[in-house]
Chains A and B, each alone.
Chain A
Amino acid sequence: MKRTLHIESNSCAAVDNLGRKTFRMELRGDAGLMHSGQFVDIAVPGLFLRRPISVCDSSEGSVLIYYKVVGEGTARLAQMLPGESLDVLVGLGHGFDPLRCSGKALLVGGGLGAAPMHLLCRELRSLGRAVTVVLGFNTASEAVLLDEFCAMGASLHVATMDGSLGVRGLVTDAIPAGEAYDCFYTCGPMVMMKAVCKALGDIPGQASLEERMGCGAGFCYGCSCHTASGTRRICKDGPVFDKEDIIW
């Protein structure tokens, strides 16, 4: 699962309300087909630990990721240029299960939680499912992937905290009322996902959790969490869990 991937493009795609940049990076090479909710673990030159980043799109020969520059690792990643190569562990984690949805799916992403929703939307659309996507951002300039979701035929709804795009307020304020969803999928800050699960009541759902990771592959036990079904490793047994298993 370790691959050398080449940077095809790496450019700023959005800026949040605090001036932090989101980068869009396209990697080429023998990446193998990954599933939504899975992640890659990138060895950033000069740093000890790898950086886990969820997959936004995947094909046999390429991977698309989005990352926000929030620390030293992502800052160094942002300075890398097309043509440079990266040591990447691919295909990590237990992702979303699009087959759980037999009818209409609701995808809810907060901030860069939109990225894994993109690949999930593609998977669901290829299964012929109707997909409603609700994305929440702090401000309009932080928004990513809007055109891509629309191009896949999803019904897109957006909320921003400052009202600069879509509904003013939280992502839960933008979820269309009166629709009957088979199941929902969510990725974003923990507090947001908790609110989403609460708002959607009895609808079955899956959520993607986050934690500081060591190995990223399930053998260092650095990112363990308690779940209703017992102790789980977020990197290996997750990051996606059924909502009933998550202890908020």
Chain B
Amino acid sequence: MVKDLSVELCGLKLRNPVIPASGTFGFGLELAGLFDLNILGGISLKGTTREERFGNPTPRIAECPEGMLNSVGLQNPGIEALVSEKVPQLRKLYDGAVIANISGFSVEEYSYNCAVADKCPGIDILEVNVSCPNVHGGGMAFGTDPDAAAAVTRAVKAVATKPVFVKLSPNVTDIVAIARACEQAGADGLTLVNTFLGMRIDIKTRRPVLAAGMGGFSGRAIFPIALRMVYQVSHACSIPVMGCGGVASAADVLEMLMAGASAVQVGAENIRDPYACPAIIEALPGLMDTLGIDHLKDLKI
């Protein structure tokens, strides 16, 4: 029997739940030569700020067992280049859901960037990143306090006509409190989780491996924690959740959907293998068949 892989997100139908996570797939264009992007349910684009950014000094990649750290620090060409160049170029190749990941260093900047992205016809969803651990005075500072997260959400919702997902940080004591604050402030959905703040030290040089000292920890190792947070949030809130964190297989996708996610983002696994998403999507029907699953809706336990 033909399996129905489609899912729905705020009224938007995705052909499947698999979405490369922001920061692990560039602007999609970089991978267009590797496979047909149209097999993807959606693409979350690289985090974008108002101004162009180089990001942090290198080295900004480190490794650990079953995972990695990055301290890229939001390298991006700026919001104008996103809407005038990157998205239009991507739209020539891709007809699935395009998710603009928006960062900022102030509530006003988030609001400005979202207003610009909202007017871009190629963008379907705004994903507001209040959880980047690699920039100071912005990013995660807004995502670790319920009031600050709510303030950003309110400001963005005031200018947006498209669905707004707030991407949450796992670097908090109670992610449910942050999630509820965003929901009450009007968020249409939530993406969780961003990376965990981590660190490696080179024991030969006695220096941090990353030039920035610390960075965001992602990869298979974080999957159980991310899954737990998706489960808690999706049972505490009534808005849809995109589950993210350590997803590396079709089985992980089903597990995230069972935890309550409506769609699933794949992050660090793309860095290991640029063909990770196509491989996961290809494996889904067979796994669904084995488990007697015909469609991917209502898998939440």
Give me the interface of A with B, judged by CB distance under 8 Å. 1-2, 43, 47-50, 87, 89, 211-215, 217-226, 231, 236
Beta-carbon nearest neighbor of A225 in chain B:
B58
State whether A221 and B46 are in contact (beta carbons under 8 Å apart), knowing that A48-B64, A215-B270 are contacts in the complex. Answer: yes
- 22 CB < 8 A contacts A-B: A2-B275, A47-B63, A48-B67, A48-B68, A49-B61, A49-B271, A89-B274, A211-B59, A215-B24, A217-B34, A219-B25, A219-B30, A219-B31, A220-B23, A220-B26, A220-B72, A221-B26, A221-B75, A222-B58, A222-B61, A223-B60, A224-B58
* Complex interface residues of chain B between 266 and 282 (CB less than 8 A to chain A): 268, 270-275
Q: How far is the CA of A87 from the CA of B279 in the complex (A)?
A: 14
Which residues of chain A come closer than 8 Å to B275, judged between CB atoms? Answer: 2
Asked whether B61 lies within 8 Å of A214 as measured between CB atoms, the reply is yes
CB distance from B224 to the nearest CB of A (A): 17
What 3 A-B pairs come out closest when comparing CB atoms? A219-B26, A219-B30, A222-B61
Q: Is B260 positioned at the interface, with any CB of A under 8 Å from its CB?
A: no
Asked whether A222 lies within 8 Å of B273 as measured between CB atoms, the reply is no
CB distance from A231 to the nearest CB of B (A): 6
State whether A50 and B272 are in contact (beta carbons under 8 Å apart), knowing that A212-B59, A220-B72, A221-B46 are contacts in the complex. Answer: yes
Asked whether A224 lies within 8 Å of B54 as measured between CB atoms, the reply is yes
* Known contacts A217-B31, A231-B75; 6 further A-B pairs (Cβ under 8 A): A217-B34, A217-B274, A221-B75, A223-B58, A224-B75, A236-B30
Main secondary structure of the interface of B (DSSP, over half): loop
CB distance from A2 to the nearest CB of B (A): 6
Interface residue count for B (Cβ, 8 Å)? 33
Beta-carbon nearest neighbor of A215 in chain B:
B271
Asked whether A48 lies within 8 Å of B59 as measured between CB atoms, the reply is no
Which of A1, A211, A214, A225 lies in contact with B68, CB distance below 8 A? A214
Mark each residue of chain B from 262 to 301: 1 if its CB lies under 8 Å from any CB of chain A, else 0: 0000001011111100000000000000000000000000
Which residues of chain B come closer than 8 Å to A215, judged between CB atoms? Answer: 24, 270-271, 274
Q: How far is the CA of A2 from the CA of B273 in the complex (A)?
A: 9
Q: How far is the CA of A56 from the CA of B243 in the complex (A)?
A: 43
Mark each residue of chain B from 75 to 119: 1 if its CB lies under 8 Å from any CB of chain A, else 0: 100000000000000000000000000000000000000000000
Asked whether A217 lies within 8 Å of B63 as measured between CB atoms, the reply is no
Mark each residue of chain B from 21 to 35: 1 if its CB lies under 8 Å from any CB of chain A, else 0: 001111000110010
CB distance from A59 to the nearest CB of B (A): 23
Asked whether B271 lies within 8 Å of A226 as measured between CB atoms, the reply is no
Q: How far is the CA of A240 from the CA of B142 in the complex (A)?
A: 40
Asked whether A49 lies within 8 Å of B272 as measured between CB atoms, the reply is yes
Q: How far is the CA of A211 from the CA of B34 in the complex (A)?
A: 23
Q: How far is the CA of A47 from the CA of B65 in the complex (A)?
A: 7
Asked whether B272 lies within 8 Å of A43 as measured between CB atoms, the reply is yes
Q: How far is the CA of A48 from the CA of B270 in the complex (A)?
A: 11
* Complex interface residues of chain B between 1 and 29 (CB less than 8 A to chain A): 23-26
Which residues of chain B come closer than 8 Å to A225, judged between CB atoms? Answer: 58
* Complex interface residues of chain B between 39 and 74 (CB less than 8 A to chain A): 46, 54-55, 58-68, 70, 72
State whether A220 and B58 are in contact (beta carbons under 8 Å apart), knowing that A48-B65, A215-B270 are contacts in the complex. Answer: no
Which residues of chain B come closer than 8 Å to A214, judged between CB atoms? Answer: 61, 68, 70, 271
Q: Is B219 positioned at the interface, with any CB of A under 8 Å from its CB?
A: yes
Which residues of chain A come closer than 8 Å to B219, judged between CB atoms? Answer: 48
Asked whether B30 lies within 8 Å of A218 as measured between CB atoms, the reply is yes
Asked whether B61 lies within 8 Å of A212 as measured between CB atoms, the reply is yes
Beta-carbon nearest neighbor of A236 in chain B:
B30
Asked whether B59 lies within 8 Å of A220 as measured between CB atoms, the reply is no
Q: How far is the CA of A236 from the CA of B34 in the complex (A)?
A: 14
Asked whether A49 lies within 8 Å of B63 as measured between CB atoms, the reply is yes
Asked whether B61 lies within 8 Å of A217 as measured between CB atoms, the reply is no
Which of A50, A211, A218, A236 lies in contact with B58, CB distance below 8 A? A211
